[in-house]
Structures are given as structure tokens and as C-alpha cells.
Amino acid sequence: MSRAGESVRVDDVDVYVVREGSGRPLMTVHGGPGLGHSYLEPIGVLATDGTKRENDDRFEVIQYDQRGSGRSGSGDIAKLTIAGAVEDLEELRAALGLERISLLGHSIGGHVAYLYASRYPERVNALVLFATAPPLDEALANEMWLDMASRRTPQDDAEQAAIRRSDEFRRREPMAVERYILNVYTPFFRDRATIGRMTFDLTPTSVASILDVGEEGFLATLPEMDPMGSLSRIGCPTLVVHAELDPTPYPFSRMLADTIPGAEFALLKGASHFAFIEDPDAFSEVVGDFLRRVTP
């Protein structure tokens, strides 16, 4: 991780937080579980927007490693769930002394973000959901997995098998697990060359969450949180962004926008799941323009 941060006590864990810029607070919620915030660092450009705008047009971008990710602790492993992530986010907001925040959720982090906005509406100025996945609808989820499988090559599968057989992976070395995750995520990238420049900065804590909890374990509490009902109860200005080449099915992104009252929808043409890395200008323009327009 290239930027200095601080540890903030949240419940039973120290949560690692990086704050950049000044102005209206925008908090990002990363995917995973276990990935940490570092891959979202390009979104920090919204802290200055790359221009000499007045301070009123700037944001303080706040990024954090969720429980069990990056430089944060794990604490009670039973709290490594969507429900636990929502409550940790609320405690973090309070610990940082922020009255209200805007949220940008990516991938699984999108589920955390909209559930938080529904549970704590008085705390959210605006909500951005980008590439929220996996879909809530079983048929669309299956469509996503099949699409991802179709984008893989025999070489991808052979490489993944070799990584899993390696002594480094068996020893749970973070670099080996990172190579494995990047291989799994290959279909999420528009340009395979991006993968060679990509890093999640995995730590032993991240590795434990990825291998011991995994996506299935992290999402275990999602159904009991009434996600569809939660969407209909969101009251803040919301933008749902879909990347044209993302394996996440377009109908799911469209469903999110159609279910959240008053939500706006944007399509990033030619972009994929990590558009803030591969198409940063287009991503920042769409998201930044929305946030400047709707947040006080």
C-alpha cells in the first residue's frame, strides 16, 4: 500500500483507514471478502478531480480495509459476513466523527453499501453502486458464472491448477494467493495486460478470509437481510453504474436502478468490472459529476 493511513478501533478490531483530500466525505466499500482497499486507490482521484476546482467541488475520499482484510484485524470471525460489514461501517463512521457520508460500493461491496444506506438512511448523502455482484436473482447469477467460465482459456485453467498445487499456495503465502485470485478474476478485466499491473496487496489476514470464509461464507447472511426490500427503502440520491463488458449481467444492474426509488443509471461503454483502473477518466467523469450534483 502506497499511502499512509491510521488504525481506528471498531468494535473488537482495529480498522485500517486512508483519508485523502478535503471536502465532502466519500467512503468506498471494497469487494472480496479479504481484498482490502488498495485496488480502489485510483478512485482517490475524486479527492482533487485532477483539476484546480474550488474546494466545494472536491471530496475527501475515505478508504478502509474491512474486517479480515488488508491491514485491518479479523476479530470475531463470526462477524465476517455482510451483516457484520454493515455494522462495522456504521461504527467506523461514528469513530471518524462523520455525521453523514456518501458511499461508493464495488462488486460485493455494493451489497454492503446499499444495505447500509437502507439501514441508516439518516447517515447517507448519496450512494454509488458500481458492478454490484453477484446478482440477487439465481438465474442471473448462473448467467454470470457461465459467462465468466466462457471467457477463460485452457491456459488459464492450467495456470490456476499449477498455483493451487504449488508449495507457496499450500503455505498460504500472500503472493501465491494473489496470483490465484487474479487468475480467477481474469474474466473481469477488459484487457489481460491489466492483470500484470494489478495488485491487491494481500496480507495473511486477507488470505485467511479468502480461503477460510470465502465469498459464500461472506454472503451467507444476505438473504436474511431482505436485500430486495432494502433496495426499495433507500431514500438518498443513487447512481447505479454498469460496465458494458462486465460479466455481471446488464439486467441485474438495471434491476437495481429500477428498484431503488429515483435511482439514476449509467452505462460505461467498452468498460468492465475494474473500470476505475482500466478506464479511469470515464469512470471519474460519470461518478464525479453525479456526486458533485447531488451532495451538499
What's residue 55's pLDDT? 47
Which phi and psi (to 5°) does residue 61 adopt?
-90, 120
What's residue 3's pLDDT? 66
What's residue 57's pLDDT? 63
Domain containing residue 235: 6-294
Question: What's this model's pTM, rounded to 2 decimal places?
Answer: 0.95
What's residue 1's pLDDT? 40
How many residues would you count in the chain? 296
Whether residue 198 lies inside any domain: the answer is yes
pLDDT digits (tens, 9 = 90+) for 12-21: 999 999 999 9
Q: Cell numbers of 48, please? A: 482533487
Whether residue 278 lies inside any domain: the answer is yes
Whether residue 1 lies inside any domain: the answer is no
Whether residue 129 lies inside any domain: the answer is yes
Distance CA 293, CA 296 (A): 8
pLDDT digits (tens, 9 = 90+) for 22-59: 889 999 999 989 999 999 999 999 986 445 455 456 79
pLDDT digits (tens, 9 = 90+) for 166-208: 999 999 999 999 999 999 999 999 999 999 999 999 999 999 9
User: What is the amino acid identity at position 151?
Assistant: R
Q: Do 80 and 68 form a contact (C-beta atoms < 8 A)?
A: yes
Residue 93: give its domain's CATH number: 3.40.50.1820
Number of domains in the chain: 1
pLDDT digits (tens, 9 = 90+) for 148-166: 999 999 999 999 999 999 9
